[in-house]
């Protein structure tokens, strides 16, 4: 147990309900073992891991929150910018949010079929063999294609897959439809939840949201912003911290843990509980 994690929450983690490699209950157990005061599970575009995470929280005596990392985009005249929005404090049965997530997951399934067909064409596998790398009920994504490519011996690990055929512009990087960020903020707030912008400055080749675009979301009720994240360097942390101060957004730090699917370690970046409470107080 580390003193560093006392009074801290890790508000952004992933499980096998999306592209993490550990079941929700294991992520929560590890958080408890580490000495975190609280943890939040935020799988991509799904609430599928919530029940198991909450049950594990009871069992292991750690305060457990459940949210969603919602895939979205900020429209621009040329090409939209992808963003990830952390939705917290939403009810699992909120019809509006459920409908929005269902549409995204359906689009991800269609994309997965197309990606699996391409991988099958290149490896001699069947598309079904590629699909076997998506855990049952998980939000299908590029990391699962990466796992199939590792199993097929095409690349040594997920990282290499993302540096190669899964990178933007790579053979297996296909588009899937996502909602507009503004609509996500409105829907989550109408459902009694709160939204924080995840890792705003990690876009490929500097294609990131601008301060003006974040300000527009803040005007709609965006309440928080991630600063301390493995993929934000010192300058990016400073820049997002400035936006937090100027736009009155609650500043967050989080691990974005994916089990063994990424180098991010649980609890490597965290948020003081006082700030977390402040975020939740801003619920719609
Ligand atoms: P998708 O949303 O299906 O296009 O896939 C994007 C996901 O891939 C993100 O949520 C990341 O968690 C994951 N990802 C991005 N880069 C890497 C990497 N180098 N290794 C493992 N996972 C990655
Ligand atoms: Fe992910
Ligand atoms: Fe993300
Ligand atoms: Zn994430």
Residue 63, both tokens:
């305060």
For residue 206, give the 3-state DSSP assignment. helix
Ligand 2 (single-atom ion) residues, CB below 5 Å? 19
- Residue 206's pLDDT is 84
Residue 45, both tokens:
């575009």
How do residues 127-179 score in pLDDT, each as one tens digit? 999 999 999 999 999 999 999 999 999 999 999 999 999 999 999 999 999 99
- The reply to whether ligand 1 has any atom less than 6 angstroms from the CB of 19 is yes
Helix then strand then coil, % of the chain, to nearest 5: 45, 15, 40
Dihedral of CA 83/228/273/23: which sign?
positive
How do residues 9-28 score in pLDDT, each as one tens digit? 999 999 999 999 999 999 99
The pick from 141, 259, 260 for probing ligand 1's pocket by mutation, whose C-beta has the most ligand atoms within 8 angstroms, reads: 141
Give whole-number Cα distances, 142 to 44, 119, 227, in Å.
Answer: 12, 12, 25
DSSP letter assigned to residue 102: H
| CA dist., res. 101 & res. 5, Å (int) | 32
- The reply to whether ligand 1 has any atom less than 6 angstroms from the CB of 158 is yes
Minimal CA–CA distance to 164: which of 140, 146, 151? 146
Phi, psi of 163 (to 5 degrees): -80, -15
Radius of gyration of the chain (CA): 18
User: Residue 255 C-alpha to ligand 4 middle, in angstroms?
Assistant: 8
- The reply to whether ligand 1 has any atom less than 6 angstroms from the CB of 142 is yes
How do residues 79-130 score in pLDDT, each as one tens digit? 999 999 999 999 999 999 999 999 999 999 999 999 999 999 999 999 999 9
- The reply to whether ligand 1 has any atom less than 6 angstroms from the CB of 144 is no
Residue nearest to atom 20 of ligand 1 (CA): 159
Residue 235 — pLDDT band, cuts 50, 70, 90? very high
User: Residue 281 C-alpha to ligand 1 middle, in angstroms?
Assistant: 31
Counting residues of the chain whose pLDDT is more than 90, the rounded percentage is: 97
Ramachandran bin of 104, using left for φ above 0, alpha for ψ from -120 to 50, beta for the remaining angles: alpha
Counting residues of the chain whose pLDDT is more than 70, the rounded percentage is: 99
């Amino acid at each position: 147990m580390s003193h560093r994690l006392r009074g801290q929450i890790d508000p952004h983690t992933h499980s096998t309900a999306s592209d993490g490699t550990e079941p929700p209950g294991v992520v929560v157990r590890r958080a408890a073992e580490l000495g975190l005061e609280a943890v939040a599970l935020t799988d991509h575009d799904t609430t599928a891991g919530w029940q198991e995470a909450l049950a594990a929280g009871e069992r292991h005596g750690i305060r457990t929150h459940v949210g969603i990392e919602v895939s979205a985009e900020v429209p621009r005249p040329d090409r939209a910018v992808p963003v990830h929005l952390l939705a917290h404090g939403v009810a699992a049965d909120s019809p509006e949010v459920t409908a929005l997530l269902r549409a995204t997951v359906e689009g991800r399934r269609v994309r997965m079929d197309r990606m699996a067909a391409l991988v099958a064409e290149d490896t001699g596998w069947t598309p079904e063999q590629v699909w076997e790398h998506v855990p049952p009920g998980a939000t299908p994504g590029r990391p699962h294609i990466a796992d199939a490519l590792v199993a097929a011996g095409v690349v040594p690990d997920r990282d290499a897959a993302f540096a190669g055929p899964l990178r933007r512009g790579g053979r297996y990087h296909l588009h899937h439809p996502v909602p507009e960020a503004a609509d996500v903020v409105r829907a989550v707030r109408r459902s009694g939840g709160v939204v924080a912008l995840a890792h705003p400055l990690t876009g490929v080749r500097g294609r990131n949201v601008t301060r003006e675009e974040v300000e527009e979301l803040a005007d709609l009720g965006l309440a928080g912003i991630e600063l301390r994240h493995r993929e934000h360097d010192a300058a990016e942390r400073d820049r997002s911290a400035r936006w937090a101060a100027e736009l009155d957004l609650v500043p967050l730090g989080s691990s974005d843990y994916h089990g063994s699917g990424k180098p991010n370690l649980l609890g490597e970046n965290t948020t003081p509980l006082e700030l977390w409470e402040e975020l939740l107080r801003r619920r719609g």
